[in-house]
Structure 1
Amino acid sequence: MRKLTTLIVLLLLFATSCKRQHEFYGHLYDQPAYNFELTDHEGKRVKLSDFTNQKKIVLLFFGYTHCPDVCPMALETMAKVMKNLTPEEAKRVQVLFISVDPERDTSEVLKGYVPYFNPTFIGLTGNEKEIEKTAKEYKAYYKKVEGESAGGYLIDHTATIYLVTPDMKIKLLYTPAKQEPKKMAEDIKFLLENS
């Protein structure tokens, strides 16, 4: 009888460990996230912790509204990620788009751009020092390139999507080669189920 009980317990433990295993599609990073404070596209000051305190997963991207290709593609990718989640799961995910072009990207400009991809998406801006500090903390690169577009300049920038968990960790990094919506959604579903 004791052997049978032990066998049942071992089988249950094995089944539980199999269920919880998940091979992340994104690059596992697992480092503390900087709790920035910036201005949203409604003109309100917000912190990263405003969203993580609601037990939300945050997808974070650094870009700018005059970006010809990378930024719209990243926002479209994140919109598709949201479509691969159930409505209940999607309510627990917040996309934040941080502008690296505070000179042109006012709250009003961001309001007309970011929610176009999904009405729940939030655009963030700030003064140059705030943006510089936030980008530095996330190891995000950006640099103005003069005279290369009708708008006067382009900005070279990091094209990584950061996934921040409710415990304020940058859990996963999605570099451009890893921005596959269905697989990103699978990572999110796993994290939501196990948070």
Structure 2
Amino acid sequence: MTVRRGVLAVVAAAALAGLASPAAAVQRAEPLPRALEGVGITEHLGARIPLGLEFTAEDGTPVLLSHYFDGKKPVILTLNYYRCPMLCGLMLNGLVDGLKGLSWTPGNQFEVVTVSFDPLETHTLAMLKKESFISELGRPAAAAGWHFLTGSQASIKALTDAVGFSYRYDEKLQQYAHPTGIFLLAPDGRITRVLYGVSFPSQTLKLALTEAGEGKVGSAGDQILLYCFHYDANAGHYVVAAGNLMRLGGVATLLVVGVWLGAAWRRGAKQHAHSRSEADVSGL
């Protein structure tokens, strides 16, 4: 099923520019503008992206996608084009804002791969964008873990088809119409989650990365937190999993009771041993 939130994010961005009102459009149930027909994200959760695709890194080096998947760290994949007049910048700035709130850093606990879907863009432009967003993030070390790629039309199409990312070029406007969202990928390249829009709260990113990491990233506390939340596709973020929370609460209660009973048993055993010792002494 094609998820429309990615398309609505395009309309939302237009609204920011004073061009449209997504809420009003939903209320009127009007059809999408022709420029947005065929634009959206079809979720392929569980599918594995083709890691053998070749792209060009920001330094001009040919690189396979597999280079960024080490089997240990999850990957955030973003699809943008570097000359985008507004929407891509909004989305990547939203990602930067979310990353700022994490104690984790790209390259350590996870990787970020940004791929241009415009085959005419060059690695020189990719490098300029990388420098800009790394500077905005304020963590120079993140440069080792956030990669900006360009590629051929064949590689771009294979990747966008694999993740279900549909876009089109508007000849009249001389720009691309495209959805916005980031893809969370497991260390082996499987798609685990899609987060839509242009804003990605830090807590949502951390839960999504923990989920994508499949136990390979995050502390025990992070894993417990993930157990207590699940992703609500309608809400677009993680919400409390009441059933799991109740089960966890039940387990915690049993542990507390068990600890209390154990302590009580040890106290009783000590008192009993002490009483026997006193009795033995008095018997002498």
- TM-score per shorter chain, which class? 0.7 to 0.9
Aligned 1:81-160 pairs, distance under 5 A: 81-87=98-104, 91-103=108-120, 105-118=121-134, 120=143, 121-148=146-173, 153-160=174-181
Q: Using a 3 Å threshold, how does the CA distance of structure 1 residues 28 and 187 change in structure 2: closer, same or farther?
A: farther
User: Which range is displaced more, 170-179 or 155-164?
Assistant: 170-179
- Which among 181, 184, 188 is matched to residue 202 of structure 2? 181
Structure 1: stretches of 5+ with no match in the other structure: 1-26
Q: For 1:50-69, what per-residue CA distance to the aligned partner results, in whole angstroms no more than 9, with x for missing partners?
A: 12216222111111112122
Question: TM-score of the superposition, structure 1-length normalised?
Answer: 0.73
Question: TM-score of the superposition, structure 2-length normalised?
Answer: 0.52
The whole-number CA distance in structure 1 between the counterparts of 2:57 and 2:157 is: 17
More strand by share: 1
The whole-number CA distance in structure 1 between the counterparts of 2:149 and 2:132 is: 15
User: Which range is displaced more, 32-41 or 88-97?
Assistant: 88-97
Q: Using a 3 Å threshold, how does the CA distance of structure 1 residues 62 and 193 change in structure 2: closer, same or farther?
A: closer
Conservation of the 8 A alpha-carbon contact between 2:180 and 2:198: no
Q: Who is 1:168 aligned against? A: 189
Q: State whether structure 2 residue 66 is matched by structure 1 residue 49.
A: yes
Q: Which amino acid aligns with 1:111?
A: M
The whole-number CA distance in structure 1 between the counterparts of 2:203 and 2:44 is: 17
Conservation of the 8 A alpha-carbon contact between 2:80 and 2:115: yes
More helix by share: 2
Q: Which amino acid aligns with 1:101?
A: D
Conservation of the 8 A alpha-carbon contact between 1:39 and 1:46: yes
Q: Who is 2:279 aligned against? A: none
The residue matched to 2:160 in structure 1 has which SS? helix
The whole-number CA distance in structure 2 between the counterparts of 1:28 and 1:194 is: 22
Q: CA deviation at 1:77?
A: 2.2
The whole-number CA distance in structure 1 between the counterparts of 2:104 and 2:200 is: 21
- Which among 88, 96, 109 is matched to residue 79 of structure 1? 96
Q: Using a 3 Å threshold, how does the CA distance of structure 1 residues 179 and 86 change in structure 2: closer, same or farther?
A: closer
Q: For 1:96-139, what per-residue CA distance to the aligned partner results, in whole angstroms no more than 9, with x for missing partners?
A: 11111121x20001100133112522211112222122211221
- Corresponding residue pairs, total: 164
Conservation of the 8 A alpha-carbon contact between 1:85 and 1:189: no
Conservation of the 8 A alpha-carbon contact between 1:62 and 1:158: no
The whole-number CA distance in structure 1 between the counterparts of 2:101 and 2:214 is: 15
Q: CA RMSD in A?
A: 2.5
Task: Calculate percent identity across the aligned residue pairs.
Answer: 22
Q: Which amino acid aligns with 1:34?
A: P
The residue matched to 1:174 in structure 2 has which SS? strand
Structure 2: stretches of 5+ with no match in the other structure: 1-42, 135-141, 217-284
